[in-house]
Amino acid sequence: MASNPARRIVLASTSKYRKSLLQRFGLAFETARPETDETALAGESPTATAERLALGKAQAVRGDFPDALIIGSDQVAHMGDEVFGKPGTVEAATAQLTRMSGRTVIFDTALCLLDAASGEHCVETVPTEVRFRDLAADEIRRYVDLERPLDCAGSAKSEALGITLLEALSGDDPNALVGLPLIALARMLRAKGIRLP
């Protein structure tokens, strides 16, 4: 573990993907389940939805951790105004991948660091542009059967077999696509006195 000032760090998420990413920093942290309604508001852009939910998740657990630095994050995948959430079922995952075949999808991953003691917070969105190759129906079926990406926005795990579905991707931080923008988070934590590395 890195030697740091005694600030409690809390990840306001039960996502195994975000937990695994945060573990790369070598910091002690806790996780907490934020109870938040993730429904987009009428007329809200995908980026605004992601940012509102990242902040909302951090604020949702603030009462339980009044002295902590709380990390909230949310991701919205979209093509224009069409949003792709977590599919939840094989049928929905198949439909999403069919729709995204041969197209470019933007994955907006919003990050919030909330200082529960002061109420100060910083929110930043890291977009990733993902271009799917033309996918045959049998490729989609095989992929969904093998990887079961039912808990991933956009139905593809780029850190695993899902990378085979892609033609290209671009963005400032490859970790953002997995669910937690580590470059931005490291910057935010350093600003709060956490030494990294």
Nearest to 75 by CA among 191, 173, 194: 173
Q: Given 37, 64, 74, 173, which residue is catalytic?
A: 74
CA distance 160 to 172: 19
DSSP the chain: -----S--EEE----HHHHHHHHTT----EE-------PPPTT--HHHHHHHHHHHHHHHTGGG-TTSEEEEEEEEEEETTEEE----SHHHHHHHHHHHTTSEEEEEEEEEEEETTT--EEEEEEEEEEEEPP--HHHHHHHHHHH--TTSTTS--TTTGGGGGEEEEEES-HHHHHT--HHHHHHHHHHTT----
Catalytic residue status for 74: yes
**Cβ proximity of 66 and 72 under 8 Å:** no
Tokens matching residue 10: 């809390």
* Residues designated as active site: 74
